[in-house]
Amino acid sequence: MFWAIFVLGHDCGHGSFSESPLLNSFVGHILHSSILVPYNGWRISHRTHHQNHGNVEHDESWVPMPEKIYSKLDSSTRILRFSLPLPMLAYPAYLWYRSPGKDGSHFNPYSSLFSPGERKAVVISTACWTFMFGLLVYLSFVFGPITMFKLYGVPYLIFVMWLDFVTYLHHHGDDEHKLPWYRGKEWNYLRGGLTTVDRDYGIFNNIHHDIGTHVIHHLFPQIPHYHLVEAVRSRSH
């Protein structure tokens, strides 16, 4: 259910939740802050992901690591990145430090992720995240840390694993779906969008708002989640 909340905030970030930018921002901050995601910091880096999907040099989401970067990783980073199940807990670390080989933080308004005109928006999101984190600490004192771990900590860990699991599957192939990655002049927006893959999550499709229909989302990110299935059917005809 945390992932379902994330997907609704994801629509806000794309401007597809509402035609009102103010309402998108307001709802997005409430939804993403409640699950410890800095809304504007994430929104801006996610925009970079969509503008560079499938580009091994500039994408943000589960980019294959070039050998020259891998060879420079220290042993602890290699373990965290490539030893299961640790990569399925990578999302909080990504928000703080990005991926290996990339600099910046989703919380720091002076990060290389953001332009000077975006710094105020990042400050607002970081403040909302800090308020939520402080609220969780306060509630831990009121109800006890064990109770809060059961009510919030366990769902949060499941959400992080589900997010990493789903986003990886959407951008990496398997024996049935071979997905290329491009660099330089080989890449263009359409090619990049077609390097994503749709996934069927069975009984979870409705719960997480049909985000498994991922190719159409990358080609037309302005389509809200409740029209994705309809858009896929229209494409198939």
**Residue 236 burial (10 A CB sphere; 0-12, 13-18, 19+):** exposed
pLDDT digits (tens, 9 = 90+) for 56-102: 888 988 888 888 888 888 887 888 777 778 878 889 988 998 877 78
**What is the C-alpha to C-alpha distance for residues 29 and 12, in angstroms, rounded to an integer?**
9
pTM: 0.88
List C-alpha distances in Å: 170 to 41, 72, 110, 218.
22, 28, 30, 10
pLDDT tier at 235, thresholds 50, 70, 90: low
Average pLDDT for residues 27-48, to the nearest whole number? Answer: 96
Alpha helix positions (H), 71-213: 75-82, 91-97, 119-143, 145-148, 154-171, 189-193
What pLDDT is stored for residue 155 in this prediction? Answer: 96
At 40, is the pLDDT very low, low, confident or very high (cuts 50, 70, 90)? Answer: very high
pLDDT in tens, 196-225: 989 999 988 888 888 899 999 999 999 998
Distance CA 227, CA 237 (A): 16
Average pLDDT over residues 170-175: 84
Q: Where are the domains of the chain?
A: 1-171
Query: In whole numbers, what is the pLDDT of the chain averaged over residues?
Result: 90
Mean pLDDT of 4-21: 94
> By C-alpha distance, which of 98, 218, 163, 23 is closest to 31?
23
What integer pLDDT is reported at residue 71 of this predicted model?
Answer: 85
> In the chain, pLDDT over 90 holds for what percent of residues?
60
For 190-201, what is each residue's pLDDT tens digit?
999 998 989 999
Please indicate whether residue 237 or residue 206 has the higher confidence score (pLDDT): 206
pLDDT per position as a tens digit, 127-146: 999 999 999 999 999 999 99
- For residue 103, pLDDT over 60 is answered with yes
By three-state DSSP, how is residue 181 classified?
A: coil
Which has the closest alpha carbon to 122: 203, 230, 32, 1?
32
